[in-house]
Structure 1
Amino acid sequence: MPPKNKFLKEEIIEAAFQIAKEEGMDGITIRKIATKLGSSIAPIYVNFKDVEELKGEVISKISQISNEIILKQDTGDKFLNIGIASVKFAKEYSVIFKDLIVRSNIYMESYDSQVMHNIIEAMKEDEELKIFTEEELKDILMKMRVFQVGLCIMATNESFASELTDEKIIEMLKDTVGDIVNGIKVRKNKK
């Protein structure tokens, strides 16, 4: 008879997520999760075949949290909402942000596949961006990501806290989005 499922799958994922918040993705081990749950490792293996499968679920949870933060933004500009949400995520989940963005790892590929398609689709719905091809939208997104990652790294560094108020971050994102979009429009019109 298989062991009784003592913990819900969601509880195990949440415990692993809490470890990732404190230590990063590499901090997630079956033994640490069991300790956090006050359990043996058996209930974890009832729900997951290995730690990598569990880490995949943590990445899904991170994607869900990212999407929820995006949906809470209400500037009327989907692209700006994404930028603001990214900075908020970086501030609130700085260890995970640094782990996924600053370090080279397999987890970002998974995150990108779950989130980037949705961002491009949202960009296609923006009236100002409808003139661009999908390749041009990807170019705009890549340029914004480069700026945004730098801004997020600065936002997670407490030494910039007084300079990078929420208002200043929003202003910088708006200006940079406009600069990038207008620059690509100008180049497109010259062709």
Structure 2
Amino acid sequence: MPKKPIFTKEQVYNKAFEIFKSEGIEGISARNLAKALESSPAPIYSFYNSMDILKHELLENAKQLFLEYVKKERTDLIFLNIGMGICIFAREEKELFRAIFLKESLGKRNEVIREFRDLIKEEMLKDGRFDHLDEEFKIELYLDCWMYAHGFATLIATNYFDEISDEFIKTRLMESAATMLYQRLENYKK
């Protein structure tokens, strides 16, 4: 008769997600997970043939959660919703934001950040207000907005602000976007 499992796949995943949030994706190993579950690594492999499968699942779920924040309609402006989503994600999911965007890692960090950045770019391209602009202008504006929103979100995630409201986030993003757009248009005319 096979040995009864010590824990469920859901328990393994939940513990892995905790580790992911606190140590980043590079903290996910059979040894770390087994230690956190107070067992040997063997039972973990009954649910996940490799740690890469588990890491992939963790990243996919983190991306989906992130996209929920970025796609949420807070205003009628897609661009603004994306910026607000990044910042609110940083406020409400500080550890996850830090694990994805701020932890030092050995190798995959830039790839993961690029994936998240590209998800944002795809959403930004859905904003029809920019359809008439040439590609170079849109890319430069996108990069400006990405850098500002990411920097602002980083300040939020690292507790630069004690408490920050959605309205404050919205106001700061609107003011910075207006400035960036004005500067881009001025440079574009030259």
1:176 aligns with 2:176: yes
Partner of 1:156: 157
With a CA cutoff of 8 Å and minimum separation of 6, indicate the structure with the bigger relative contact order: 2
Partner of 1:112: 114
CA RMSD, 1 decimal: 2.9
Partner of 2:56: 56
Q: How many Å separate the matches in 2 of 1:93 and 1:53? A: 23
Q: Deviations over 1:84-105 (max 9, x none)?
A: 1111211222233223323444
Q: How many Å separate the matches in 1 of 2:52 and 2:148? A: 31
1:42 aligns with 2:42: yes
Q: How many Å separate the matches in 2 of 1:73 and 1:28? A: 33
- In terms of fraction of residues, the more helix-rich structure is 1
- 1:23, distance to aligned residue in structure 2 (A): 3.3
Q: Give, as a single letter, the amino acid of the residue that structure 2 aligns with 1:16.
A: A
Partner of 1:91: 91
TM-score (norm 2): 0.79
Among all aligned residue pairs of Structure 1 and Structure 2, give the percentage whose two residues are the same amino acid.
27
Aligned to 1:48, what secondary structure does the other structure show?
A: coil
Q: 1:181 to 1:64 in 2, by over 3 A?
A: same
Indicate the larger mover: 170-179 or 101-110. Answer: 101-110
What are structure 1's unaligned runs of at least 5 residues? none
Indicate the larger mover: 166-175 or 35-44. Answer: 35-44
Superposed counterparts of 1:64-143, under 5 Å: 64-105=64-105, 106-113=108-115, 115-143=116-144
What are structure 2's unaligned runs of at least 5 residues? none
- 1:82, distance to aligned residue in structure 2 (A): 1.1
- 1:28, distance to aligned residue in structure 2 (A): 2.5
Q: 1:19 to 1:150 in 2, by over 3 A?
A: same
How many pairs are equivalent? 187
Q: 1:85 to 1:3 in 2, by over 3 A?
A: farther
- 1:127, distance to aligned residue in structure 2 (A): 2.8
Aligned to 1:62, what secondary structure does the other structure show?
A: helix
Q: Deviations over 1:85-138 (max 9, x none)?
A: 11121122223322332344413413533x444433332332321122334323
